[in-house]
Amino acid sequence: EVKVVESGGGLVKPGGSLRLSCAASGFTFGSYSMNWVRQAPGKGLEWVASISGSYSYIYYGDAVKGRFTISRDNAKNSVYLQMNSLSVEDTAVYYCAKGGGRYGELYFDYWGQGTLVTVSS
Amino acid sequence: ETVLTQSPATLILSPGERATLSCGASQSVSYNYLAWYQQKPGLAPRLLIYEASTRATGISDRFSGSGSGTDFTLTITRLEPEDSAVYYCQDYGRSPALTFGGGTKVEIK
Protein backbone atom coordinates (compact mmCIF):
# COMPACT_ATOMS: atom_id res chain seq x y z
CA GLU A 1 0.00 0.00 0.00
CA VAL A 2 1.35 3.41 -1.01
CA LYS A 3 1.54 5.91 1.83
CA VAL A 4 2.57 9.56 1.74
CA VAL A 5 2.77 11.52 4.98
CA GLU A 6 3.70 15.19 5.33
CA SER A 7 4.91 16.95 8.46
CA GLY A 8 6.44 20.23 9.50
CA GLY A 9 3.65 22.72 8.94
CA GLY A 10 2.83 25.44 11.41
CA LEU A 11 2.63 29.15 12.10
CA VAL A 12 5.50 31.35 10.93
CA LYS A 13 5.98 35.11 10.73
CA PRO A 14 6.38 36.91 7.39
CA GLY A 15 9.98 36.71 6.25
CA GLY A 16 10.52 33.52 8.20
CA SER A 17 11.46 30.00 7.13
CA LEU A 18 9.97 26.55 7.48
CA ARG A 19 10.98 23.07 6.34
CA LEU A 20 8.37 20.53 5.34
CA SER A 21 9.08 16.82 5.25
CA CYS A 22 7.31 14.01 3.43
CA ALA A 23 7.82 10.32 4.12
CA ALA A 24 6.70 7.81 1.51
CA SER A 25 6.39 4.03 1.45
CA GLY A 26 4.88 1.19 -0.53
CA PHE A 27 6.69 1.78 -3.84
CA THR A 28 10.21 1.96 -5.26
CA PHE A 29 10.86 5.50 -4.07
CA GLY A 30 13.86 6.29 -6.25
CA SER A 31 11.98 5.43 -9.45
CA TYR A 32 9.42 8.22 -9.24
CA SER A 33 9.29 11.97 -9.05
CA MET A 34 8.06 13.57 -5.85
CA ASN A 35 6.16 16.80 -5.85
CA TRP A 36 4.64 19.54 -3.73
CA VAL A 37 1.26 21.09 -4.50
CA ARG A 38 -0.43 23.72 -2.34
CA GLN A 39 -3.93 24.99 -1.81
CA ALA A 40 -4.66 28.35 -0.24
CA PRO A 41 -7.77 28.49 1.97
CA GLY A 42 -10.87 28.26 -0.21
CA LYS A 43 -8.82 28.28 -3.42
CA GLY A 44 -7.73 25.83 -6.10
CA LEU A 45 -4.62 23.73 -6.53
CA GLU A 46 -1.23 25.29 -7.31
CA TRP A 47 1.83 23.26 -8.27
CA VAL A 48 4.90 24.24 -6.21
CA ALA A 49 7.87 22.03 -7.05
CA SER A 50 8.99 18.68 -8.47
CA ILE A 51 12.11 16.55 -8.21
CA SER A 52 12.83 13.49 -10.31
CA GLY A 53 13.64 10.12 -8.79
CA SER A 54 17.23 10.22 -9.95
CA TYR A 55 17.76 13.91 -9.20
CA SER A 56 18.04 14.60 -12.95
CA TYR A 57 15.63 17.51 -12.78
CA ILE A 58 14.20 19.94 -10.28
CA TYR A 59 11.39 22.29 -11.25
CA TYR A 60 9.70 25.17 -9.43
CA GLY A 61 6.58 27.18 -9.93
CA ASP A 62 7.10 30.86 -10.66
CA ALA A 63 5.55 31.92 -7.35
CA VAL A 64 8.21 30.15 -5.28
CA LYS A 65 11.28 30.19 -7.53
CA GLY A 66 14.30 31.52 -5.66
CA ARG A 67 12.66 31.15 -2.24
CA PHE A 68 11.79 27.44 -1.97
CA THR A 69 14.11 24.46 -2.35
CA ILE A 70 12.97 20.90 -2.95
CA SER A 71 15.27 18.00 -2.10
CA ARG A 72 15.02 14.27 -1.51
CA ASP A 73 16.88 11.49 0.29
CA ASN A 74 16.25 8.20 -1.49
CA ALA A 75 17.89 6.27 1.35
CA LYS A 76 15.22 7.61 3.72
CA ASN A 77 12.32 7.54 1.22
CA SER A 78 11.77 11.19 2.00
CA VAL A 79 11.35 14.50 0.23
CA TYR A 80 11.67 17.96 1.71
CA LEU A 81 10.60 21.52 0.97
CA GLN A 82 12.70 24.31 2.45
CA MET A 83 10.66 27.51 2.40
CA ASN A 84 12.40 30.84 2.94
CA SER A 85 11.26 34.47 2.79
CA LEU A 86 7.71 33.42 3.47
CA SER A 87 4.84 35.83 2.85
CA VAL A 88 1.17 35.77 3.74
CA GLU A 89 0.49 34.61 0.16
CA ASP A 90 2.26 31.34 0.99
CA THR A 91 -0.42 30.42 3.52
CA ALA A 92 -1.86 27.13 2.31
CA VAL A 93 -2.21 23.43 2.85
CA TYR A 94 0.88 21.84 1.32
CA TYR A 95 0.44 18.41 -0.21
CA CYS A 96 3.21 15.99 -1.06
CA ALA A 97 2.37 13.84 -4.06
CA LYS A 98 4.00 10.94 -5.87
CA GLY A 99 4.57 11.33 -9.59
CA GLY A 100 2.51 8.84 -11.55
CA GLY A 101 4.58 8.35 -14.64
CA ARG A 102 7.33 5.74 -14.89
CA TYR A 103 9.02 8.01 -17.43
CA GLY A 104 8.72 11.19 -15.43
CA GLU A 105 5.25 12.31 -16.45
CA LEU A 106 4.15 14.80 -13.84
CA TYR A 107 0.65 13.77 -12.92
CA PHE A 108 0.14 12.82 -9.29
CA ASP A 109 -1.27 9.43 -8.36
CA TYR A 110 -0.87 9.37 -4.58
CA TRP A 111 -1.21 12.32 -2.23
CA GLY A 112 -0.57 12.89 1.44
CA GLN A 113 -3.16 14.34 3.78
CA GLY A 114 -1.53 17.77 3.64
CA THR A 115 0.14 20.00 6.20
CA LEU A 116 -1.03 23.55 6.92
CA VAL A 117 1.40 26.43 6.70
CA THR A 118 0.15 29.72 8.09
CA VAL A 119 2.19 32.87 7.55
CA SER A 120 1.00 35.62 9.85
CA SER A 121 2.39 38.24 12.20
CA GLU B 1 2.22 28.67 -19.46
CA THR B 2 -1.07 27.06 -20.42
CA VAL B 3 -4.23 28.50 -18.89
CA LEU B 4 -6.91 25.89 -18.20
CA THR B 5 -10.51 27.09 -18.04
CA GLN B 6 -13.04 24.76 -16.48
CA SER B 7 -16.77 25.02 -17.03
CA PRO B 8 -19.27 25.21 -15.62
CA ALA B 9 -18.12 26.55 -12.26
CA THR B 10 -20.92 24.65 -10.51
CA LEU B 11 -23.04 21.74 -11.64
CA ILE B 12 -26.14 20.71 -9.69
CA LEU B 13 -27.58 17.36 -10.70
CA SER B 14 -29.68 14.52 -9.34
CA PRO B 15 -28.63 10.96 -8.52
CA GLY B 16 -28.57 8.76 -11.62
CA GLU B 17 -27.95 11.65 -14.03
CA ARG B 18 -24.84 12.22 -16.16
CA ALA B 19 -22.33 15.01 -15.49
CA THR B 20 -20.27 16.56 -18.26
CA LEU B 21 -17.34 18.73 -17.15
CA SER B 22 -15.22 20.73 -19.60
CA CYS B 23 -11.61 21.81 -19.51
CA GLY B 24 -10.35 24.19 -22.17
CA ALA B 25 -6.66 24.92 -22.69
CA SER B 26 -5.20 28.18 -24.01
CA GLN B 27 -2.79 26.15 -26.13
CA SER B 28 -2.64 22.56 -27.28
CA VAL B 29 -1.85 20.07 -24.53
CA SER B 30 1.23 18.15 -25.57
CA TYR B 31 0.82 14.37 -25.94
CA ASN B 32 -2.71 14.78 -24.44
CA TYR B 33 -1.03 14.94 -21.04
CA LEU B 34 -4.21 16.03 -19.27
CA ALA B 35 -5.23 14.67 -15.86
CA TRP B 36 -8.42 14.94 -13.81
CA TYR B 37 -8.66 14.93 -10.00
CA GLN B 38 -11.52 14.73 -7.55
CA GLN B 39 -11.35 16.58 -4.23
CA LYS B 40 -13.88 16.23 -1.44
CA PRO B 41 -14.02 18.77 1.40
CA GLY B 42 -11.17 18.44 3.86
CA LEU B 43 -9.46 15.70 1.87
CA ALA B 44 -6.54 15.50 -0.53
CA PRO B 45 -7.19 15.33 -4.27
CA ARG B 46 -7.55 11.90 -5.84
CA LEU B 47 -6.34 11.07 -9.34
CA LEU B 48 -9.17 9.94 -11.62
CA ILE B 49 -7.83 10.15 -15.18
CA TYR B 50 -4.44 10.67 -16.83
CA GLU B 51 -3.37 10.99 -20.49
CA ALA B 52 -6.82 12.45 -21.10
CA SER B 53 -8.65 9.12 -21.06
CA THR B 54 -6.83 6.50 -18.96
CA ARG B 55 -8.54 5.68 -15.68
CA ALA B 56 -6.30 5.55 -12.62
CA THR B 57 -6.06 2.41 -10.52
CA GLY B 58 -9.27 1.60 -8.70
CA ILE B 59 -11.38 4.27 -10.37
CA SER B 60 -14.95 3.30 -11.28
CA ASP B 61 -15.83 2.97 -14.96
CA ARG B 62 -18.54 5.57 -14.33
CA PHE B 63 -15.72 8.10 -14.77
CA SER B 64 -14.40 8.63 -18.29
CA GLY B 65 -12.20 11.20 -19.95
CA SER B 66 -12.06 12.29 -23.56
CA GLY B 67 -10.73 15.03 -25.80
CA SER B 68 -7.52 16.17 -27.41
CA GLY B 69 -5.67 19.33 -28.35
CA THR B 70 -7.34 22.14 -26.40
CA ASP B 71 -10.72 20.65 -25.44
CA PHE B 72 -11.18 17.94 -22.84
CA THR B 73 -14.17 16.44 -21.05
CA LEU B 74 -14.71 14.44 -17.88
CA THR B 75 -17.98 12.48 -17.90
CA ILE B 76 -19.51 10.93 -14.82
CA THR B 77 -22.42 8.58 -15.47
CA ARG B 78 -25.06 7.28 -13.04
CA LEU B 79 -24.26 9.98 -10.49
CA GLU B 80 -24.15 8.98 -6.83
CA PRO B 81 -24.26 11.28 -3.78
CA GLU B 82 -20.61 10.39 -3.07
CA ASP B 83 -19.61 12.05 -6.36
CA SER B 84 -20.22 15.46 -4.81
CA ALA B 85 -16.82 17.13 -4.98
CA VAL B 86 -14.68 19.66 -6.80
CA TYR B 87 -13.04 18.36 -9.97
CA TYR B 88 -9.78 19.78 -11.32
CA CYS B 89 -8.00 19.27 -14.62
CA GLN B 90 -4.20 19.51 -14.92
CA ASP B 91 -1.92 20.02 -17.91
CA TYR B 92 1.36 18.18 -17.39
CA GLY B 93 2.50 18.24 -20.99
CA ARG B 94 4.59 21.37 -20.73
CA SER B 95 6.94 20.49 -17.91
CA PRO B 96 8.22 22.34 -16.02
CA ALA B 97 5.16 24.58 -16.27
CA LEU B 98 2.43 22.54 -14.61
CA THR B 99 -1.00 24.12 -14.37
CA PHE B 100 -4.37 23.29 -12.86
CA GLY B 101 -7.77 24.53 -13.88
CA GLY B 102 -9.90 26.51 -11.46
CA GLY B 103 -12.19 23.57 -10.72
CA THR B 104 -15.82 22.56 -11.21
CA LYS B 105 -17.97 21.94 -8.16
CA VAL B 106 -20.44 19.11 -8.60
CA GLU B 107 -23.39 18.95 -6.22
CA ILE B 108 -25.70 15.96 -6.19
CA LYS B 109 -29.14 16.80 -4.78
| B55 burial via Cβ count (<10 Å: 0-12, 13-18, 19+) | middle
Residue of A nearest to B102 (CA): A44
Residue A38: closest C-alpha in chain B: B44
All residues of chain A having their beta carbon less than 8 Å from the beta carbon of residue B96 are: 50, 57, 59-60
Closest to A29 in 3D by CA, of A59, A7, A54, A5: A54
Contacts of A110 in chain B (CB under 8 A): 47
Q: What is the pLDDT of residue A57?
A: 92
- Mean pLDDT over A11-23 rounds to 98
Sign of the CA dihedral running A102, A108, A112, A116: positive
Could you tell me the pLDDT band of residue A91, with boundaries at 50, 70 and 90? Answer: very high
Residue B44 to residue A112, Cβ atoms within 8 A: yes
Q: What would the mean pLDDT of A39-62 be, rounded to a whole number?
A: 95
For residues A98-116, average pLDDT:
93
Tell me which chain B residues have a C-beta less than 8 angstroms from the C-beta of A65: none
Average pLDDT of span A30-52: 97
**What does the pLDDT average to over B62-69?**
98
Q: What is the CA radius of gyration of chain B?
A: 13
Question: Would you state the pLDDT for residue A18?
Answer: 98
Query: For the residues A56-76, what does the mean pLDDT come to?
Result: 96
The rounded distance, in Å, linking the Cα atoms of A56 and A48 is 18
Q: What does the pLDDT look like over B14-63, one tens digit per residue? A: 999 999 999 999 999 999 999 999 999 999 999 999 999 999 999 999 99
Q: Is residue A19 pLDDT above 90, yes or no?
A: yes
Tell me what pLDDT residue A103 has. Answer: 82
Q: What is the mean pLDDT of chain B?
A: 96
Going by C-beta distance under 8 Å and a sequence separation of 6 or more, which residues neighbour residue B18? B75, B76, B77, B78, B79
Which residues of B fall within a CB distance of 8 Å from A44? 88, 100-103
**CB A61 to CB B98 under 8 A?**
yes
Task: Please tell me the distance from the alpha carbon of residue A113 to that of residue A5, in angstroms, as a whole number.
Answer: 7
| Residue B8, preceding peptide bond in cis (omega within 30° of 0) | yes
Q: How far is A77 from chain B (nearest CA, A)?
A: 21
Residue A56 pLDDT exceeds 90: no
